[in-house]
Homo-oligomer: A and B are copies of this chain.
Amino acid sequence: MTTNLTNIDFYFDFSSPYGYLAATQIEQFAGRFKRSVDWRPILLGAVFRVTGGRPLPQLPLKGDYAQRDMRRSARFLGVELNMPSQFPIATQVPCRAYYWTQGHNPGMARQLALALFKAYFVSNKDISSPEVTAEVAAGLGLERDQLLAGINDQAVKDRLRNEVDTAIKRGVFGSPYMVIDSEPFWGVDRFPQMERWLSQGPF
Interface, chain A (partner B; CB < 8 A): 50-53, 59-62, 64-65, 68-69, 72-73, 75-76, 168, 171-174, 184, 186-187, 189-190, 192-193, 196, 203
Contacts and interface: CB of A to CB of B under 8 A. Distances in A.
A190 B72 CA distance: 11
Given A51-B62, A62-B51, A68 B173 contact: no
A187 to B, nearest CB: 7
B65 A59 contact: no
B203 A72 contact: yes
A50 B187 CA distance: 25
A69 B75 CA distance: 25
A190 B69 CA distance: 10
A6 to B, nearest CB: 19
A202 B11 CA distance: 31
